[in-house]
Structure 1
Amino acid sequence: MSDEKEMQVTENLANMEAEQIDEEVKSNPEAPEDHDDDDDDDNVEDPVKKEKAIGKKIVPGILYLGHIPPRLRPSHVRTMLGAYGEIGRIFLQPEDKIVKRKKKKAGSRARNFTEGWVEFRDKRVAKRVAASLHNTPVGLKKRSRFSDDLWCIKYLHKFFWCHLSERLAYEQTVRQQRLRTEISQAKRETNFYLANVEKSQKLDKLRKKKEKRGESMTEKTWDFTQRRTEDEIRQSRLRKQAMSKKSLQKAQEKARVIEEKAQSNVSLLAKIFNSSTERS
């Protein structure tokens, strides 16, 4: 009986140990196992996994649209170019205010754009789009209203969206400065005009007072010489040239007279000497 009891105790202990081992395995599912399959997967080259492992940044690329057809909106550009890749920001330059005013006077309220910039998330996609869509029709279908227009696309190398925002901010500041200068100039002109009006009114009052008293008012005259016009300058040059020609002619005539006198004197001397030799 003692032997049978000892055998039962040993069997119970073995069962308890086996149950503890099973519970530990269940509680630690990340236990080391055979990694033959993982080693085989690491040897396979996956470019996406490599980029994620290296940590490469996807650099955005910007396209420049030189021509935008009428009635083309940013939503149309996004739907047309979004089929080729992921698009970020879009900016289309609207027409000038002067053109808008002229159109309003003519009766049309259509808003058109002159040029635009489109940002792609990946610059490689932007390069492909610029190379493939340049000088191709905007509308693929014949019935579309943009079928007669062509894309004018150029990829901007080393150009980022911050450059565009800086350029737009610079143009806005320049426009504001120009408006300020124009406003200040207009104010100066109006102030000068009003000051002259006040002076003229004062002078009229003084003139009337002196006329009542019987005194004569001496008016100031402008002491300045007006600049000559181009016609007057040209005429004065022609006169000088004519005078110079006349002086040359007079000098030539004087030289001829002197030469003739010299020749006559030479002939007289020759006659005198010739007669003296004959007598001897």
Structure 2
Amino acid sequence: MTEEENREFDVDVDDNDDDGFEDENNIPNSQNKKRKKKKLLNEGGDADNRGVCYLSRVPPHMDHVKLRQLLSQYGEILRIYLTPSGHQPQVKGKRPRPSKVQEQEFSEGWVEFARKGIAKRVANMLNGEQIGGRKRSSFYYDIWNIKYLSKFKWDDLTEEIAYKSAIREQKLALEISAAKRERDFYLSKVDQSRKLSSIEERMKKKQKVQEESGIHSELPVSHKKVIRQFPQKKPVAVDTSQGKPTLSKDVLAGIFSQV
């Protein structure tokens, strides 16, 4: 089974071809009504009597409808699941027309028959034989690669697909998480580089201004000693003569004359 089958699906037959299960809208109305009626009557009743055949290869251009048309003539078919291929073949140098729907290719498939005996007989009879059908069909000369799976039930197939789908989702989540971490790391480095470039640019501009103004200093700006200057007031001169009492000249003359 390829990785393409690890997609979400519903066990019901009403799923579309993109999920690998058969679409009941492609089945004729009369046959579709009979199948729905039988499905309601036999829900869980005869599950042990059903048989599953495995197709290791699905020819190109073969889908659920064509496969049912080829195998339903040998016995009643209940469900079909085909695994979509991982890639679609394209002709080099040509683009598909938008109006034409591109056919889905399938790599392998499973077919559930209503009876084990019918499934076993169909596998033994058709394996290694030419597919045949209409000669104009693209798989007319192709060979059947079909095998009966003993003790294999349809529930085993759905459980296996669900398990692989869960593993694929977990793996995808891990890859997305790793991609996010790598992106965040890259963005942080880009932001850091921008900041460093901005700092270098500012330093260059500052150095250029200092050179133009004639300021040269060996020490960095952060290590320069800041000298603060404060305005000083002149001291007031003290006149000592004004504070002492003085005598007149007449008094002094009288004192010295008596002596």
Change (3 A) 1:102 1:189: farther
Give the alignment partner of residue 187 of structure 1, picking from 167, 180, 191.
180
Q: Distance in 1 between matches of 2:169 and 2:75?
A: 38
- 2:176 partner letter: I
Q: How is 1:118-197 mapped onto 2 (pairs within 5 angstroms)?
A: 118-197=111-190
1:107 is matched with which residue? 95
Between stretches 135-144 and 85-94, larger displacement belongs to: 135-144
Change (3 A) 1:57 1:76: closer
Alpha-carbon separation, structure 1, partners of 2:168 and 2:129: 36
Name the one with the larger helix percent.
1
Greater relative contact order (CA < 8 Å, ≥ 6 in sequence) = 2
Match 1:60 to one of 50, 53, 78: 50
- The match for 2:78 among 88, 91, 107 is 88
Task: Answer yes or no: is the 8 Å Cα contact 1:58–1:121 preserved in 2.
Answer: no
Secondary structure of 1:154's partner?
strand
Cα offset, 1:105, TM superposition: 8.6
SS in 2 for 1:64: strand
Give the direction of change, closer, same or farther, for the CA distance of 1:56–1:87 in structure 2 (3 Å limit).
Answer: closer
Q: Distance in 2 between matches of 1:206 and 1:101?
A: 56
CA RMSD of aligned residues (A): 2.7
Which ranges of structure 1 fall in alignment gaps of 5 or more residues?
1-54, 217-280
What secondary structure does 1:180 align onto?
helix
| TM-score, structure 2 as length reference | 0.56
Q: Residues of 2 paired with 1:115 and 1:174: CA distance?
A: 20
Alignment partners' CA distance in 1, 2:157 and 2:130:
27
Matched letter for residue 135 of structure 1: G
**Paired residue secondary structure (2:49):** coil
What do residues 60-81 of structure 1 show as CA deviations (whole Å, max 9, x unaligned)? 1100011111111111111211
CA distance in 1 between counterparts of 2:46 and 2:113 reads 17
AA matched with 1:146: F
For residue 90 of structure 1, give the secondary structure of its aligned residue in structure 2: strand
How many aligned residue pairs are there? 160
Whether the 8 Å contact between 2:57 and 2:107 is mirrored in structure 1 is yes
In structure 1, the residue corresponding to 2:79 is in which secondary structure?
Answer: strand
Moved more, 143-152 or 187-196: 143-152
